[in-house]
Amino acid sequence: MTEERIKELADEHFDVFDWHFAQRTTRGLLGYLKILIRAVAAEAREEGIEEMRPGIQAVENLIASSGGVAGLHLNGDIAPWSDLLTGGRYEEWLIDFDRAVEWLKEKE
């Protein structure tokens, strides 16, 4: 999240903060802050994930363009992607990658 976006948020919500301070409604202010912090965190998380999209797509392209990973088992065999992706014998290697791909597809 950029400094500019943080300033925008501060400007957008200043009146609400000011009102709560003037009314001395600490409970209301804390509830409002809780909602605002969750919204800001969600926005920052979305931005961070979008920054990762090109890297995830690069790995997807690598998988689509190759047969697997040579040397992974240290025995000269090629580990096919089908063994390494979700549902394969060694899915624990890339299951988090598959989850990231699925999550990004849902966001499109």
In a domain, 59, yes or no: no
pLDDT number for residue 1: 60
Residue 8 lies in a domain: yes
Quick check: is 60 in a domain?
Answer: no
Q: 75 and 46 share a domain?
A: no
Question: Exposure pattern of 13-23 as b/e (b: 16+ CB <10 Å)?
Answer: eeeeeeebeee
**Whether residues 46 and 85 fall in one domain:** no
Could you report the per-residue pLDDT of 16-45, keeping only the tens digit for each? 777 766 776 666 666 777 777 777 777 777
- Upper half-sphere CA count for residue 8 (Cβ side, 13 Å): 6
Rounded Cα gap, residues 74 and 23, in angstroms: 69
Domain-embedded: residue 10: yes
Domain count, the chain: 2
The model's pLDDT over 51-75, given as tens digits with 9 standing for 90+, comes to 888 888 899 999 999 999 988 878 8
Let me know if residue 19 belongs to a domain.
yes
Residue 15 confidence (pLDDT): 75
pTM for the complete prediction?
A: 0.56
Q: Specify the pLDDT at position 81.
A: 93
pLDDT score of 108 more than 80: no
Domain hosting residue 107, numbered range? 66-108
